[in-house]
Amino acid sequence: MSERASGFTLGEIVARFGGELVGDGSLRILQVSTLEQAGGDQITFLANPKYRKQLHTTRAAAVILHRTTAVDCQRPHIVCDNPYAYFARVAQLLNPARRPEAGVHPSAVVIASIPDSIHVGANAFIDAEVKIGAGVTVGPGCVIGRGARIGDGSLLHASVTVYPDCVIGRNAIVHSGAVIGADGFGIAREADGSWTKIPQIGRVVIGDDVEIGANTTIDRGALGDTVLEDGVKLDNQIQIGHNVRIGAHTAMAGCVGVAGSARIGRRCTVGGGAIILGHLDIADDVNISAATLVTKSITQPGTYTGAMPFEPHRDWMRNAARLRHLENMADRIQELEARLAQWEKRT
């Protein structure tokens, strides 16, 4: 019987992940769910105080929560410092990833020498000089270009394309339709207005424990490499330009665009639809809100938000410059109002 089918007791969960157990440790948990929908053999969590009232109506067997909300919970519960992260680990425990059996589908074309422990799906193509680690899954329709490297335990879902010489580290997850290592947008304009392509001779180098969403594209470097450090998490339909560097454990939501040669620090978050212009530096621990347009480097950690409506470029530049001084202008207006009030009293 699988771990998911048999479940785990609350006591076993706490023994694995820590936390403080309040209630019956022998209670067996089979699955995770939401506060609103959980049933009698499921565990849920409370991370947002907005849902605190649902503690009184949930039918969950147990709840994962912070000590500040534990006083409101009458059901068995696990007290921890980070309920959402704790819930994620429990969800992984109860839903272990399913991997296909090792072997090469008869319709796949494999030119490189590969270990016996990997799975290659139908109609996949693995070119010469490719190096693939143990336990890798290459899904149906994937194309792995000449000289590419993929680390142990990585999972490529269907129709992933990895261009020649690109590197993917260990335990990566690459979702369907992702393209790793296409040419960056390098073109030079000639005097007659035509364009001349600049060969893109760098690579994409991806670290360990990285996840790349469906239909996300990561361009190869023009001269050096495009680099994603360990633990980076990219959502669906993201565009990463050539020679970008993304620091360890940074996460980006869907439809983010990062232009070429931008350098993004570690542990950053970027909200959906945000745009980061090229050749900018983003410090560590920066949080960029959804739909924000980043037009200059960010040198200090913190949260940054902003978007402006479309208008002629000259007008936009003038208004943007004024917006930067808006706080100073407000202070000056308050000072003038105070002076005016004093003058009115005298007259």
Return the active site residues: 242
d(CA 64, CA 54): 13
For residue 201, report the phi and psi dihedrals to the nearest 5 degrees.
Answer: -105, 5
Residue 317 token pair: 């530049």
d(CA 109, CA 55): 54
Q: Which residues contact 85 (CB under 8 A, 6 or more apart)?
A: none
Residue 206 token pair: 């991806």
d(CA 135, CA 152): 6
Residue 315, class by beta-carbon neighbours within 10 Å (0-12 exposed, 13-18 middle, 19+ buried)?
exposed
Q: Report CA-CA distances (Å) from 292 to 74, 216, 266, 309.
A: 42, 19, 19, 12
Q: Write the DSSP string, 272-331.
A: TT-EE-TT-EE-TTEEE-TT-EE-S-B-S-EEE--------HHHHHHHHHHHHTHHHHHH
